[in-house]
Amino acid sequence: MSETDYELSLQKTCFIFTVNLGHIDSKIDWSKLSEDEQIEELEMHWEHLCSMPNLKIGRAQIERNKAGVLHINGGLKFGSVWRARTLQNKGRCWARPAKNEAAVLQYGKKQETRVKSLANFGVKKAKKSTFQNPKQQAIQLLLDGLTPVEICGKYPDVFFTHHRAIVETFKMMTVAKSCGVRMALDEEE
């Protein structure tokens, strides 16, 4: 088994792909179609790719290669594993397993060769909060200058969990500032 065959047989969830006009239909003489018609065909093929089962995220754009030929480049992320060979057959495209998922899903933002961006499919999960727990969030909110009342209004779950500590810490910070004691964070700025 060659390295390419092995790579195509791996079960993965994230892939890079390219759709050339010949992938869509090899019997059509694409040179006889206008560029607008070619773009329309590529857009319809993108819709076909976005309708594939279990697709979670799709990012792509229509580009022009060095020879001036239009094609789609992008990345696809599925909810469960696929083989690249299966994706190639069902998606009528060239596909390889992605080694860097984050880079693949940023691919559609490349400007150098873009002719047209394609609509994003799916939503990336939002990054988790940098706060590991409500206590850390309460401390940061106080350091950001929020009062206990503001914390209660904007973040009631944090306030409910640590209301006594929030009020007491706020009092200490207020007294320290009125006495001219500089906070450690103020000195760093």
- At 129 the pLDDT is 57
Q: Using the 8-state DSSP alphabet, how is residue 19 labeled?
A: E
pLDDT, average across residues 136-147: 85
pLDDT above 90 (res 175): no
86: burial class by Cβ within 10 Å (0-12, 13-18, 19+)?
Answer: middle
Are 75 and 5 in contact, with CB atoms under 8 Å apart?
A: no
Q: Give, for 173, the enclosing helix (H) or strand (E).
A: helix 156-178
15: burial class by Cβ within 10 Å (0-12, 13-18, 19+)?
Answer: buried
159: burial class by Cβ within 10 Å (0-12, 13-18, 19+)?
Answer: buried
pLDDT, average across residues 153-173: 87
185 band by pLDDT with thresholds 50, 70 and 90: very low
Residues 6 or more apart in contact with residue 158 via CB below 8 angstroms:
134, 137, 138, 141, 151, 166
Cβ atoms within 10 Å, residue 129: 9
Is the model more confident about 4 or about 82?
Answer: 82
Alpha carbon of residue 142 to chain centroid: 32
Q: How far apart are CA 65 and CA 72, in angstroms?
A: 10
Please tell me whether residue 125 adopts helix, strand or coil conformation: coil
Domains recognised in the chain with CATH numbers:
3-117 (3.40.1310.20), 134-188 (no CATH)
Tens of pLDDT, residues 25-34: 988 898 899 9
pLDDT, average across residues 121-125: 80
Three-state secondary structure string covering 59-113: EEEEEECCCCCEEEEEEEEEEEEEEHHHHHHHHCCEEEECCCHHHHHHHHHCCCC
Helical pair 134-143 and 156-178, crossing angle rounded to 10 deg: 40
- At 127 the pLDDT is 61
Mean pLDDT lowest among 30-39, 102-111, 152-161: 102-111
Q: What is this structure's pTM?
A: 0.64
- At 182 the pLDDT is 55
- At 131 the pLDDT is 58
Tens of pLDDT, residues 66-101: 898 999 999 999 999 999 999 999 999 999 998 888
